[in-house]
Amino acid sequence: METPRTTFEGPRPIPFQAPQGDLAILSGTANPLLAQHVATALGVSLTPCRAHIFSEGNVFVRIKENVRGKDAYIIQGCHFPVNDNFMELLFWIDALRRASAQNITAVIPFFSYAQGDKKDEPRVSIRARVCADAIEAAGADRVLTMDLHSPQIQGFFRVPVDHLYGRQVLAEHVRRLQIPDLVVCSPDVGFAKGAAAYANLLGTPVVIGNKQRTDHSETVEVLEVIGDVKDRNVLLVDDLTITGRSLIAMAETLKKRGARDVYAAVTHAVLSKGASERIAQSQIKLMFVTDTIENSFDPLPPNVQVVTVAPLFAEAIRSIHERTSISMLFPDGRPICP
């Protein structure tokens, strides 16, 4: 009598569908160009979908193709109009969940409410936590974002958060320019670790600015620069700029301290009304920004250059989809958190 086999020899010759499902990339209205570039880099087509805003401001979203069982990524930033874009993101997540997508990743190139990370005044809301709860309640399984203003916001979520760094792309762009005698400068002590990470990537020294704000008027006063910039070209770095005033004030101070040319590298160019004109007339020779934000209040000035982060987002999505390590995307393997 033949002995029954109790072990299996190797994998199935014809595998079932991948556990994570087929890849589906969707674009909200906030980042259509970035989403298209990400899809192109991944070699897939955008999943057809539609968002419509009714006359009274009500937002309607609809996915126009079957996503049942798919690994879905909705690309929707939360920049101006912040509340409209955030609500649209929640509706896309809910639509994907009700359409039976297997996994839902909210790809948020710029998460504006990341600035509301703490209760630093009496009787104020911790807005980032409220947004994190809303994203989870809508049905997101994962969040993919870039340069959170406060990295500890990752802890506000109970779902996994993959945090990308725009400095990887911006530093490579600056390196190709071969700017001599370069030193990296943080406009304040809050971004000192981020500046150190830039300096590590570029192989340059780092100096730190000291500034203060006394209210919510978005004005700034530069108090001092810690470090020597005389006869050096300086690269100002930050995660975001809204009015441009911090960078402009720091650039003026650096020039007074004997710096030659002042450059700037900023991941998120929010650039509120009037910021473009101020930057155009400032001491900043060139400013490098990413395309995490597509719409601006004013046309970008001639001294601002846009560097795309679509390939980085595409590789991160590929890593999540294929269940490989995202940390391998960073040259040092273990990025320094700003």
Determine the length of the chain: 338
8 A C-beta contact, residue 63 and residue 95? yes
Segment 219-224 long-range contacts (CB within 8 Å, at least 24 positions apart) = 219/245, 220/245, 220/246, 220/249, 221/249, 222/249, 222/250, 222/252, 222/253
Residue type, 142: R
Question: Across the strands, what pairs with 269?
Answer: 241
Q: Respond yes or no: is residue 211 known to be catalytic.
A: yes
> 296 phi and psi, to 5 degrees?
-130, 155
The distance from CA 241 to its chain's CA centroid, rounded to whole angstroms, is: 13
Q: Which two tokens stand for residue 33?
A: 């160009």
DSSP state letters, 112-168: GGGG--S--STT---HHHHHHHHHHHHT-SEEEEE--SSGGGGGG-SS-EEEE-THH
Write the CB contacts of 317 (distance below 8 Å, at least 6 apart in sequence).
23, 25, 38, 42, 73, 105, 107, 144
Q: Which residue of the set 64, 119, 193, 211 is catalytic?
A: 211
Catalytically annotated residues: 211
